[in-house]
Amino acid sequence: MQIDEKLISRLEHLARLELSGEERAHIQGDLNKILDMVEKLNELDTTNVQPLVYINEEGNVWREDEVRNQLPREKALKNAPDEDGTFFKVPKVIDLDRNDA
């Protein structure tokens, strides 16, 4: 498996990143090295092996579905990069000239 430039661009978009030319080339090379290392897994026969997903084998812990642990508004907005005292502010969302947002 080789990650080419086209795939790197797709991954960048999926990951919501925008790498510079140099960083992209660097990471592309690294990913290919890492995938070479990962190839080793194919030496193992995993036919009929159930994927391991949950490390804690205990069942679900149920609780009442009630509202708790709320933050007052000032506290919730405290770490916001931009807010108007009531809402989080973001750049314009609807842009008719672009369809990727």
CB of 65 to other proteins, least distance (A): 13
Q: Closer CB to other proteins, residue 5 or residue 80?
A: 80
Q: Which amino acid is at 95?
A: D
DSSP 8-state assignment for residue 78:
T
Among 9, 18, 25, 73, binds other proteins (CB under 8 A): 18
- Contact between 98 and other proteins (CB under 8 A)? yes
Residue with the two structure tokens 């036919």: 47
Q: Which amino acid is at 75?
A: K
Q: Which helix (H) or strand (E) holds 90?
A: none
CB of 62 to other proteins, least distance (A): 10
- Distance between CA 59 and CA 86 in Å, rounded? 40
Q: Which amino acid is at 71?
A: L
Q: Closer CB to other proteins, residue 15 or residue 67?
A: 15
Phi and psi at 70, nearest 5°, equal -90, 155
For the segment 22-51, give every residue that binds other proteins (CB under 8 A).
23, 26-27, 30-31, 33-34, 37-44, 46, 49-51
Q: Closer CB to other proteins, residue 56 or residue 86?
A: 56
